[in-house]
Amino acid sequence: MTAIVTRSPVPDTDVDVAAGTAPHDSLLRFALRADATLCAAVGLLAAMTADQLARIAGLSATAGWFAGATLVGYGALLYVLAAASHVRRLGLSVLTGNVVFAVVAVVAILAGWSPLTGAGDDLVLAFVGATAVLAWLQYRGVRRLA
């Protein structure tokens, strides 16, 4: 009995030909998918509990539902885009957007530009904290690809 042994060739570039990915992009892909999952989960929770959150946070139920639905859509889109073959540019874009969101949200709360209650401010700041952690992971992932 003869066995045929096949070996897949090792590409001599830094791109995995079969997967279309770089060998060090797993951290960035993980960070993007974690960001997508968090956004979709928070958005779904916000949309489902828009009436209750309106009483607690100080926004209208419509604004809460719209923000939640937007986060769900963004999370789904980001999850799909995280599978792109060249993920570095996407990672830089999402990282930039996360940093801008975090800075604008904190400035808006500190300046009193938002009609949120104290509990609403705390909820937004908790989301900003999670966004900052994910932005840091995305930064590390992008740096690995540089």
Over residues 18-61, the pLDDT tens digits come to 445 566 889 999 999 999 999 999 999 999 999 999 999 998 99
CA 49 to chain centre: 21
Please write the tens of the pLDDT for every residue from 62-109. 999 999 999 999 999 999 999 998 899 999 999 999 999 999 999 999
The radius of gyration of the chain from alpha carbons, rounded to an integer in Å, stands at 20
Nearest to 95 by CA among 37, 42, 34, 138: 138
- 0.85 exceeded by pTM: no
7-11, 74-78, 108-112, 118-122: least confidently modelled range: 7-11
Mark 70-96 as b/e (b = at least 16 C-beta within 10 Å).
Answer: ebbebbeebbeebeeeebbebbeebbe
